[in-house]
A and B are shown apart, each in its own frame.
Chain A
Amino acid sequence: MADTRNKQGSGKARAIYASKERQDEWMQAIADRLGRPRITEMPQHPFRGAPDFWRAYDLQQEERINLFMNNWTNLGGHAFRMSSMEEVGRFLLDFVRETGAQKLLMQRQPELMGLGLAEALHDVECTVWDSSAEEMIDEAAQADIGVVVVDHAAAYTGTIVVLSSPDKGRSTSLLPRALVAVVPASAIEASLGPILKGLDARPKDQLPAGVHFITGPSRSSDIENDLTIGVHGPGIVYALVVG
């Protein structure tokens, strides 16, 4: 296929729009418009990031946990504090039994694999994310519950952050009706700032394809301003803070 010869698609009509010449032409036109030569060195950016007073914003771990859980609850989510992963396991068993869930999907994360859910739930289909399987998206679409361990959380906004990887599908936190997010207490930052700075600091080839900040359940106010929960993404969202 033509694709393999050139990533930008040589031999295709659209290749001219993706060419280096076109890019240079554009940048030169911008510089001309701005009435100065082209800038190719990184400019001084004195206003980078949040204002100074905000950089100083921080909370003790207990305060972070409380604020995160409060915000998550106010958004229409449910938040519980748990002392260990065993407690998370027990919660999941109860949740599956009480809701009559038929299918549960979880990320391939050691914390979750260690729960022994598949063994405990005989009559429930328990799937672990498998990037080599063809039909993972369909599996996720059919799942009642998706379970993830989050990478980060931010107390101030009530946000969890999940990063994609071969072991962590983007669909797990998106397609099932209910999302159960395990939030290690140590992963909760006071605000978004440190998490975003962490993304800047990563080597470029180590940024995941998808970094998703999730703040409460899926919602819409498009019909007469009437709040609807769970329009496309999960409407039932649990945050289990562990530690």
Chain B
Amino acid sequence: MFLVRLLRYLKGYVRFTITGGFIERFLNLCSRGGVPLWDLEHTQEGMISSTTVKHYPGLRGYARRTGVRLRVKERHGFPFLLRRYRKRWGIFVGLLAFFIFLGAMSNFIWQIQVVGNETLTEEEIVAQLEELGVTIGANRHKIDTRWVERNMLLRLEELSWIGVNLTGSTAEIEVKERVMPPEKIDDEKQPTNVIAGESGQIKYMEVYDGKAVVSVGDTVVKGDIIVSGVLEDSKGKTTFKHARAKVMAQVPASLSVEVSLNQTIYEPSGKMPVERKLCLFGLEVPLSLPAKTGEFYNRYESVKNFSVLGRKLPVSLKSIGYEQLEKVEIVYTEDQALAEAQNQLLALEAQSFADATVVTKNPVAFVEQDTLIMKAEYIVEKDIAVVQEILIKE
């Protein structure tokens, strides 16, 4: 029924009164003449009915023959609307401009959707696409999808397949990631020695393959062979092995940190002017005056994307915050500098000796030219085994 109403509206229809004469005969003549009538209503004077604009002029003949009088009561539909606004050129120009704008804008990419990525992030893929010309605002007719696909496969080795589908203003990027082969394990057939990666005293050894040439308690220098992969039997026959071992040794190490007694630091002043920009079709339209940033500041940027029914719109709001910093001169006392140096040293230790155990630690602190220097000598226990390939001339 909606469709019928829509068609009637598009064609246009009139509602008219029928008075006097032989109304039933008039209706019969209309039906025989193929004139559609609907919504016939009784009134005190006669009837009210509706028919299409096209058929209404033809009713005059029937009215004359049956003696009824017709009078248009209401006019409905698109043709009348068009007639009412025919002198309002602005509407037509606006409509035309809208369709031209719509047509022109549909030639550009306004949305990039990436589907199928698991390990690679959308940002990584989009960044590579941008370098190949697939960006927001790019002309879709100038994009050679095959070329982009080939180059993306060369640029991102994690991809096994990529499909660039341009649907309207949306570039849908379908990707399939490569299942990367597991890391290659050491070739067990390759003859190797285990050498000392650092100088120190061996405390513990676990030899998995090969022949140990030093023993626990021995001191080794960096580069010394600890486990040999060359074995010689009693008959003088030489065999090569892939030597492997775990060699825990105590090795000396030293760390030092410096803390200046006169320091300049930058503290947030609490003021953070924000600059807002509307990103529209790839253009940035400032919504506020440029922020007064001052001499020192931290810059924070956030982008809020808008979406309708789950579809990302080519409109986003960019907020740039400038956290203003104040320059503050600080003079440390020696105790304060020492505490600071100790904290820094602990942080450095945790970083440097992540895979080692500290056995002894001797820190020394002294002041030299307004700078507190803290030096610490360590003995740490760590695995110093390094596998070295044996080169054999055939």
The answer to whether A and B belong to the same complex is no
Interface residues of chain B, those whose CB is within 8 Å of chain A, are none
Residues of A within 8 A of B (CB): none
